[in-house]
Amino acid sequence: MPSSPQFPQSRRLLPSTKALAAFEAVARLKSFTRAASELSLSQSAVSKQISALEQQLGLQLFESKRTHGIGLTPAGAQYFENVRRILADLSATTASLIASNNDMRSLRLGVPASFGSRWLIPRIGRLFEREPDITIEFATRMNTRLEPNFANLDASIEFAPEPDTNHVWRQLMPWVLTAVASKDLTRGYDLEKPENLSRVSILMHASDVPLWNEWSASASAGGTSFKTVVFETYPMVFQAAVVGLGVAIAPAALMEKELASGELVKPFPLELKSPNKCYLVYPGDRSGRKTLARFEDWLFSLDLGA
């Protein structure tokens, strides 16, 4: 009689998905605090999951002594790459099964954090009014590009100069930067004249620095030295502008709230067209999914200037 598979024995080598998720998050974010926030757990709970995993493996996954940040041991680095792939495959398989059994009413959408919170979320209520049975799961990303196999996403909002994969790319809008500042700063420094920008700090996102350098070099105030303050997130740029730290050079599409309320104004006309454009991207084999098609129809029915 053929022997049966030794499932009880093999299961002893299967860590819990909670422990693997905690390990993957800490290794990727290099922080127990940020991992705990992402997983909606306490830092203590994440630490316990990591300790349990290391005890089960009989291996140390993280270096115990580092001056800055958290580092992986060689074993941890090897384990991380495999765990990340396995979790992505498991999530994709689960999402696909759920979607196929929910008549495609659920959509998992990858969205850059600032674009999601500042442009898409304020409009998403219109989608739910039009398509009340649709469920959207937002997966935010911080300055990272989409994985080539889309991991467990159905579609994603991407910023790129041109399509750079063989997926379906639909351009949603160009990406235009403008100058904004608080009313008090505008009046105090006579910022209606672009040449007076040299009197104040220029606030911008790290990704927009090359575009600003190109414009300032060719502007009428060419040769003038500008003091720049660079941030890693757009919300920090906007808040710095609101409290009067300087003039922000940033996407107008992400500052609708501040411009509408009058917290920020445009001291003079400025349009810097970023080489990046905003796209909706999805694999060709997902184009037949009903929920994706309904979301896409709604998205491109919007007045993208409003």
pLDDT, tens digit, 9 for 90 and up, residues 239-270: 999 999 999 999 999 999 999 999 999 998 88
Q: What percent of the chain has pLDDT over 70?
A: 85
Q: Which residues pair with 106 in a beta bridge?
A: 135
List the CATH code of the domain at 12-94: 1.10.10.10
- Tell the residue number behind the tokens 């498991």, with chain if given: 90
Cβ neighbours of 183 (radius 10 Å): 13
Amino acid, res. 208 = D
Give dist(CA 186, CA 98) in Å, integer: 53
Closest alpha carbon to 110 in 148, 72, 83: 148
Using an 8 Å Cβ cutoff, are 282 and 154 in contact?
yes
Query: Do 166 and 138 meet the contact criterion of CB atoms below 8 Å apart?
Result: no
Can 12-94 and 103-175+277-299 be said to share one CATH topology?
no
Annotated domain spans of the chain? 12-94, 103-175+277-299, 176-273
Structural contact between residues 216 and 226, judged by C-beta atoms closer than 8 angstroms: yes
Query: Helix, strand, coil shares of the chain as percentages rounded to 5?
Result: 45, 20, 35
| Per-residue model confidence (pLDDT) at position 148 | 60
Instruction: Map residue 177 onto helix, strand or coil.
Output: strand
Higher pLDDT, 295 or 68: 295
pTM for this structure?
Answer: 0.63
Q: What H or E segment, with its residue span, contains residue 277?
A: strand 272-282
Q: Which two tokens stand for residue 39?
A: 């997983």
Class of the domain covering 176-273: alpha beta
* Mean of pLDDT over the chain: 84
Residue 121 CB partners (closer than 8 Å, separation 6+): none
What six digits make up the tokens of 130? 């039009």
Give the CA distances from residue 206 to residues 57, 133, 232, 245, 249, in Å, rounded to whole numbers and listed in that order. Answer: 41, 39, 6, 17, 11
Lowest pLDDT segment from 55-64, 147-156, 268-277: 147-156
Q: Render the burial of 244-282: b for 16+ CB within 10 Å, e for the rest.
A: bbbbbbbbbbbbeebeeeebbbbbeebebebebbbbbbb
pLDDT at residue 306, rounded to an integer: 44
Residue 4 scores a pLDDT above 60: no
CA proximity to 237, closest of 142, 114, 116: 114
Overall CATH class of domain 103-175+277-299:
alpha beta
